[in-house]
Amino acid sequence: MAMLSNSDTLSVTSDRRARLTRDAVGVLVILALGVAGYVLFPNNLALLTRITAIALLVLSLDLVTGYCGVATLGHAALFGAGAYGAGIAAAHFGITDPVAMLAVGIIAGSIAGLISGVVVLRAHGLPQLVLSIAIIHLAHEAANKASGWTGGSDGLSGIMPDAVFGVWQFDLWGRTAYVFGIVLLVVTFVLLRQIVRSPFGMLCRGIRQDPVRIRAMGGSVHGTLIRMYIISGAVAGAGGALNAISTQVVGLDSLSFTLSAEALVMLVLGGTGSLYGALLGTVTFLWFEDVVSAANPFHWLTIVGALLIAVVLFAPKGLYGSLAAYFERRGRKNP
């Protein structure tokens, strides 16, 4: 018995080390890609920042769809809430410190997450999807109606964020915005890695696989999902705020069904239920879209469609899921 507990504590520490190493690798990969983006594409930073903001939305979607199994086509409501929250704070209340704007965005996103969660979790499957669609349309209409606050369909302009910590101005090349975004992404990623592996994350995965079992274990399904929705709202809100800060404008498109659907497509493309999948899906989709739409602004949609079909046919678990499965198989063949 003593032996056993001894080896157990041993494995606890070695486990922890292995996990930390893996996380460190993940963070380093993101940072390396971030630096590579900065060095290799110094003229594309605006696009890269936009990818970063959307990546936060897709990560946030992964939390509820990938980890909890909630189907939603209305997740942009959380993103838009963050964007408008930060934008309105800056344009109407003079809160122009980027970190403060970010905080407002996170809070606005969390509240939107709570509301969405309460409504969406009422049903399952298709009706759930429809509830989420209803939410995004209502949010879109509400923002359109409240044009005094949101600028309506003309978009909310006049967002002039201060320099970050009073030092780094937002410049034409978008360098500050890019670094701000990458730092935000890395911090979020580290926090989310913790959360998805925590007991809470395990509970969520359990709920996705079998909510009846979770109830039979005395777990609260609804309460857990609502909490995850709030976290998801915070992440999406951060993405929205980043978008508002970096582009200095917020449009109704940030509260649109289109953006929600695109986010879902990116997530499934990358692979659900994995943070890496969410990131990979976002980068692949947006980069691909940018390249083909620049190459042929008139008919690129067909090529994107073909890409989606190809992914379903040849990488049914999503890009990351299929890659991981491939390496797992190879690893087993030659250990």
Partner 1 sequence: MSAIFDVRNLKKTFGGLVVTNDVSLSMAPGDRVALIGPNGAGKTTFVNLVTGNILPNAGSVMLGGQDVTRLGPTERVRRGLVRSFQVTRLFSEMTPEEHVALAILQREGRSGKMFASHRAMPDVMEEGHTLLSRLGIAHLARHRVSEIAYGQQRLLELSLALALKPKVLLLDEPAAGVPQSDTARIEQAIADLPSDLAVLMIEHDMDLVFRFAKRVVVLAAGEIIFDGSPDAVTKDVRVRQAYLGSYADARSVA
Partner 2 sequence: MKKLAIAALAAALMGGVAHADTIKVGVVGPFSGPFGLQGKNFKAGIDAYMALNGNTVGDDTIEIIYRDIPTADPAQSKALSQELVVKEGVQYLAGFYFTPDAMAATPLLEQANVPMVVMNAATSAIVTKSPYVVRTSFTTWQTSTPIAKVAFDGGTKKVISVVSDYGPGVDAEAAFKTGFEAAGGQVVEAIRIPLQTNDFSPIMQRIKDSGAEGVFAFLPSGPTTLGFVKAFNENGLKEGIKFFAPGDLTQESDLPALGDAALGLTTTFHYAVSHDSAENKTFVEAAAKAIGNPAELSFPAVGAYDGMHVIYKMIEATGGDQDAAKAVEAVKGLSWESPRGPVTIDAESRHITQNIYLREVAKADDGTYFNKEIQTFEKQGDPGLKAAK
Partner 3 sequence: MQTVFSIGVDALAYGMVLFVISIGLSVTMGLMRVVNLAHGAFAMIGGYIASYAARDLGLAYAVAVMLAVAGTILIAIPIERLLYRRIYGQPELTQVLMTIGITFCIIGIANYVFGPTLKTIPTPETLREPVSLGFRTVSSHRLFVIACGAAVALGLWYFIERTAFGVKLRAAVDNAAMAAALGVRTQVVYAVSFAVAVGLAAFGGVVGAELLPIEPYYALRYMVTFLVVVSVGGAGSIPGALAACLLLGAIDTTGRYLMPEFGEFFFYLAVIAIVWLFPRGLAGRAK
Residues that bind partner 3 (CB under 8 A): 65, 71, 119, 122-127, 129-131, 133-135, 137-138, 141, 145, 257, 261, 264-265, 268-269, 272, 299, 301-309, 311-313, 316
CB 268 within 8 A of CB 257: no
Out of 72, 243, 260, 274, which residue is the one contacting partner 2 (CB under 8 A)? 243
Residue 250 in the binding site for partner 2 (CB under 8 A): yes
Q: What is the DSSP letter of 156?
A: B
Given 157, 169, 220, 258, the residue binding partner 1 (CB under 8 A): 220
Query: In 180-309, where do the E strands start and end?
Result: none
Which partner, partner 2, partner 3, partner 1, none, binds residue 206 by CB below 5 to 8 Å per kind? partner 1
Report yes or no: 69 and 75 within 8 Å, Cβ to Cβ.
Answer: no
What character string, x for contact with partner 2 (CB under 8 A) and - otherwise, covers 38-57?
-----xxxxx-xx-------
4's contact among partner 1, partner 3, partner 2, none, with CB below 5 to 8 A by partner kind, is partner 1
Choice from 249, 266, 269, 315 touching partner 2 (CB under 8 A):
249
Task: Decide whether 158 or 316 has the Cβ nearer to partner 3.
Answer: 316
Residues from 156 through 175 that contact partner 2 (CB under 8 A): 157, 172-174
Beta strands in 12-83, from DSSP E residues, in sequence order? none
Check: CB of residue 73 under 8 Å from CB of residue 139: no
Residues in contact with 306: Cβ distance below 8 Å, sequence separation at least 6, in sequence order: none
* 85 binds, options partner 1, partner 2, partner 3, none, Cβ within 5 to 8 A by partner type: none
Whether residue 113 contacts residue 95, with contact meaning beta carbons closer than 8 Å, is answered with: no
Choosing among partner 1, partner 3, partner 2, none, which partner's interface includes residue 274 (Cβ < 5 to 8 Å by kind)?
A: none
Cβ-based neighbours of 82, under 8 Å, separated by 6 or more: 105, 106, 108, 109, 112, 236, 237, 238, 239, 240, 241, 244
d(CA 173, CA 46): 7
From residue 170, give the alpha-carbon distance in Å to each of 84, 96, 180, 248: 19, 12, 10, 10
- Which residues here bind partner 2, judged by CB under 8 A? 43-47, 49-50, 141, 144-145, 147, 152-155, 157, 172-174, 243, 247-254, 258, 293-294, 297-301
